[in-house]
């Protein structure tokens, strides 16, 4: 057979594309269910991670049910839209944050750790190469950071990717997001040695300056969404 004829080439290309497309579609749909479960489980792990809970060898889904006592959807004025478990969890925070301020639905997780209430705020921002995200948990005063979790899509290993490292995340513990004048200023991520003005700071990552700045911008942007809620002091009453 002449494998160089135009007809053969056309037929070959068409058959190849169809076969490969069918194969990929089949693999994708066959694995969809397991993948979605994995993604949900991973989200639970991330949320728990911001509470400094050691997940090594633990059942994350069970721990999630144990620690997270309330899931809220609020708007930027701190009105509570929903407190049904599962609804806030299903929200895509990345999508919500890019909507108009008045339409944003903000998920908020309330956890009970050893009897104390913690508030967990989702984070979404941009690093050097792609998106970065995470969760920040606050103490009952809605001011002191209890723990953080950051991750990234494609930051440089050894440099920006270090934000996913516990040693970086632990630097935020105990920092305050409000300054002495009671303004929400978030936490600065500065180059080691530099001093931030009138706000708490942590050292950024050497060689990962743009990712560090991304974390700083993400913290300020996402925490600001919840400012009205933070200013309601004393518990979660409506």
Partner 1 sequence: MSKLMSAKTKEILLGPLAKNNPITVQVLGICSALAVTAKLEPAVVMGISVTIIVAFGNVIISLLRNTIPNRIRIIVQLVVIAALVTIVSEILKAFAYDVSVQLSVYIGLIITNCILMGRLEAFAMSNRPWESFIDGLGNGFGYAWILVAVAFFRELLGSGTLFGYQVIPQALYDAGYHNNGLMILPPMALILVACIIWVHRAKDKELQE
Of positions 18, 20, 61, 101, contacts partner 1 by CB under 8 A: 20
Pick 40 or 140: Cβ nearer partner 1:
40
**Sign of the torsion angle spanned by Cα atoms 145, 163, 63, 236:** positive
Exposed, middle or buried by CB within 10 Å (0-12, 13-18, 19+), for 75?
middle
Pick 9 or 77: Cβ nearer partner 1:
9
List of residues 6+ apart from 30 with CB closer than 8 A: none
Does the protein bind partner 1 through residue 207 (CB under 8 A)? yes
If we measure between CA atoms, which residue out of 43, 45, 42 comes closest to residue 53? 45
Where do we find the tokens 């991520």?
189
Write out the binding residues for partner 1, residues 156-185 only, by CB under 8 A.
156-159
Does the protein bind partner 1 through residue 192 (CB under 8 A)? no
Token pair, residue 112, equals 């009970």
Write out the binding residues for partner 1, residues 116-155 only, by CB under 8 A.
151, 153-154
Contacts with partner 1: how many residues (CB under 8 A)?
Answer: 29
Token pair, residue 2, equals 């002449």
For residues 224 and 97, the answer to whether their CB atoms sit within 8 Å is no
Does the protein bind partner 1 through residue 57 (CB under 8 A)? no
Chain residues that interact with partner 1, rule: CB under 8 A: 3-4, 8-9, 12-13, 16-17, 20, 23-24, 27-28, 31, 34-35, 38-39, 41-42, 151, 153-154, 156-159, 206-207
């Amino acid at each position: 057979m002449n494998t160089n004829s135009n007809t053969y080439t056309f037929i070959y290309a068409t058959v190849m594309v169809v076969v490969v497309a069918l194969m990929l579609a089949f693999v994708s749909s066959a694995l969809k269910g397991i993948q979605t479960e994995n993604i949900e489980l991973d989200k639970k792990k991330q949320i728990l991670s911001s509470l400094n809970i050691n997940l090594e060898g633990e059942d994350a889904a069970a721990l999630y049910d144990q620690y997270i006592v309330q899931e809220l959807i609020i708007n930027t004025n701190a009105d509570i839209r929903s407190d049904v478990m599962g609804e806030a969890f299903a929200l895509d925070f990345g999508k919500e944050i890019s909507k108009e301020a008045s339409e944003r639905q903000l998920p908020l997780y309330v956890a009970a750790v050893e009897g104390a209430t913690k508030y967990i705020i989702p984070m979404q921002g941009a690093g050097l190469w792609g998106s970065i995200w995470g969760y920040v948990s606050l103490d009952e005063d809605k001011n002191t950071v209890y723990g953080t979790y950051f991750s990234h899509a494609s930051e440089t290993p050894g440099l920006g990717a270090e934000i996913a490292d516990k040693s970086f995340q632990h630097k935020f513990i105990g920092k305050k997001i409000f300054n002495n004048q009671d303004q929400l200023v978030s936490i600065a991520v500065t180059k080691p040695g530099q001093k931030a003005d009138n706000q708490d700071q942590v050292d950024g990552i050497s060689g990962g300056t743009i990712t560090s700045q991304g974390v700083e911008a993400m913290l300020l942007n996402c925490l600001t969404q919840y400012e009205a809620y933070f200013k309601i002091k004393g518990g979660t009453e409506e």
